[in-house]
């Protein structure tokens, strides 16, 4: 099993959240991928969707607070974007290359994740079987990201690294975790 801890960094902007951090860990065991996000600190200014009784696949989750990660096959331009809402909604998109050929990935009909919310921590845990899109012997590059929307409507973009002049989670250079 390959496991790594991570800490996300906000993209440089005027709306940085004070006293907030996003940390977690990611692990791969054959075709299984496990990821945990912990949004820690003073969460009172963050807009966090209430849990839904009927979580479903939804588009444009990134317009609100949303945990995301990107999986690319090593030495291939193809990659997938996974979106996870604190409300329980989700989506997975497949891209042929940088921002090209976006379509819903129909290999997934659900994403098994759990959200726990307390006053100073929002934790999200996901276990997903990647066998539908990646062979267990294929190496993958992963980018871990989060969009945080504040109650004042300002948005901050968090990632392992920011390689562009603007916040852009799709830049393959930012898929820096190798599993």
**What torsion, rounded to 10 degrees, do the Cα atoms 38, 44, 45, 48 define?**
60
Instruction: Return d(Cα 63, Cα 71) in angstroms, integer.
Output: 21
Q: What is the pLDDT along the chain (179 residues), one digit of tens a residue?
A: 678 999 999 998 766 788 999 999 999 999 999 999 999 999 999 999 999 999 999 999 999 999 999 999 999 999 999 999 999 999 999 999 999 999 999 999 999 899 999 889 999 999 999 999 999 889 999 999 999 999 999 999 999 999 999 999 999 999 999 99
Q: Please report, in angstroms and rounded to a whole number, the separation of the first and last CA atoms in the chain.
A: 9
Residues 70, 172: Cα–Cα separation, whole Å? 9
Domains of the chain: 2-178 (2.60.40.1190)
Cα atoms found within 13 Å of the Cα of residue 81, Cβ hemisphere only: 26
20-24, long-range: CB within 8 Å, 24+ apart, which pairs?
Answer: 20/46, 20/148, 22/146, 22/148, 22/158, 24/144
Residues shown for the chain: 179
For residues 26 and 29, give the distance between their C-alpha atoms in angstroms, rounded to a whole number: 10
């Amino acid at each position: 099993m390959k496991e790594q801890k991570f800490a996300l960094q906000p993209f440089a902007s005027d709306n940085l959240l004070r006293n907030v951090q996003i940390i977690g860990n990611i692990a791969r065991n054959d075709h299984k991928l496990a990821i945990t996000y912990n949004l820690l600190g003073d969460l009172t200014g963050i807009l966090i969707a209430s849990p839904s009784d009927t979580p479903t696949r939804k588009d444009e989750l990134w317009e609100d607070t949303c945990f995301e990660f990107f999986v690319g096959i090593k030495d291939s331009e193809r990659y997938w974007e996974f979106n996870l809402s604190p409300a329980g909604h989700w989506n997975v998109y497949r891209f042929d290359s940088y921002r090209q050929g976006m379509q819903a990935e129909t290999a997934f009909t659900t994403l098994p994740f759990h959200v726990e919310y307390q006053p100073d921590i929002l934790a999200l845990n996901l276990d997903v079987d990647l066998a539908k899109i990646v062979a267990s012997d294929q190496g993958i590059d992963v980018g871990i990201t989060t969009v945080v929307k504040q109650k004042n409507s300002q948005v901050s973009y968090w990632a392992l690294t920011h390689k562009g002049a603007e916040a852009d989670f799709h830049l393959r250079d930012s898929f820096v975790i190798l599993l």
